[in-house]
Structure formats: structure tokens, C-alpha cells
Structure 1
Amino acid sequence: MNGGIIAILITLTVIGGVSVSTVAYFTLQRHRADAVAMAGYRKLAEEAVANQEALRAELEAVTARLTAVEELLRSVDA
């Protein structure tokens, strides 16, 4: 009777270890996939910031030109 219980305990321990290892492996794979996705989002965010800065610089140039045109029109009226 004791040998049967010991065999069952050993079997359950092995099955438990394999189960825990399998769950840990798939959890690790999910975290790796999340890390890859986050890297992609980070790259998109950096590109968006760069584009926004370029647009801001272009808007400043257009504003400067518009100011010059307004001054020219005011000088013509006066």
C-alpha cells in the first residue's frame, strides 16, 4: 500500500512539474510577443513625434511668410 501511494505521489509531482513548466513557457512566449508589439508602438510614437516636429517647423515658416505678406500689404495701404 505504501509503495502505491509513493508511486502516485511521484507521478503527481512529475505531472505537476511538467504542467508548471508548460504554463511558464507559454507565459514567457506571450510576454515576448507583447515586448515585440510594444517596440513597434514605440517606433510609431517616435515617428509621430518626428513628423509633428517637422510640421511645427513648417508651420513656423508659413507663419513668418504670412507676417511678411501682412506687413507688405499694410505698407502698401499706408
Structure 2
Amino acid sequence: MNGSTIIPIAVLVIIFGTVTTIVASYFKLQRHRADAAALAEYRKLAEQISVQQETVSAQLAELGDRVKAVEKLLHSVG
């Protein structure tokens, strides 16, 4: 091969490498966006669960107080 055929081949290799890099970067960006959306949904669910857990905790504390009141009443009667 002489110098006149090497230059077009080198240019094509460089263009192919550039296009490949751009396509790979695009798909990596799309995957990152999907991961970010999933993480946002998980954060939202975690906040909802936290609120629900606090509600259940408050209800359990109230039930514990009621049970103590019933036990006190039973001890005073018995």
C-alpha cells in the first residue's frame, strides 16, 4: 500500500471510532437517566413508608397506653 490509500483508511477509522464513541455515550446517558428516575421513585416510596411507619408507631403507642389503662382497671377491680 502506498501513502494515498492509508490516509482515507485512517480517516474512516477515526470517523468510525468517533461515531462508536458517540453512540456508546448516548446509550450510557440513557441508562443513567433511567437509573436516576428509578432512584427518584425509590426516594418517594421511602418517604411514604417513613410517614406510614410513624403513623403505625403512634397507633401502637396509643394502644399500649390503652392496654395499660385496662390492666390498671383490672388490677383495681380484682
TM bracket, shorter-chain basis: over 0.9
After TM superposition, the score normalised by the length of structure 1 is 0.94
Q: Percent identity?
A: 45
Following the alignment from structure 2 to structure 1, what is the Cα–Cα distance between the partners of residues 24 and 4?
30
Following the alignment from structure 2 to structure 1, what is the Cα–Cα distance between the partners of residues 77 and 32?
67
What does residue range 1-78 of structure 1 map to in structure 2 within 5 Å? 1-77=2-78
Cα drift, residue 49 of structure 1: 1.2
Following the alignment from structure 1 to structure 2, what is the Cα–Cα distance between the partners of residues 43 and 49?
10
Following the alignment from structure 1 to structure 2, what is the Cα–Cα distance between the partners of residues 12 and 26?
21
Q: Deviations over 1:15-52 (max 9, x none)?
A: 10000000000001001101101111111111111111
Name the aligned partner's letter for residue 30 of structure 2.
Answer: Q
Q: Give SS of 1:18's match.
A: helix
What residue ranges of structure 2 are gaps of 5+ in the alignment?
none
Name the aligned partner's letter for residue 22 of structure 2.
Answer: S
Q: CA RMSD in A?
A: 0.7
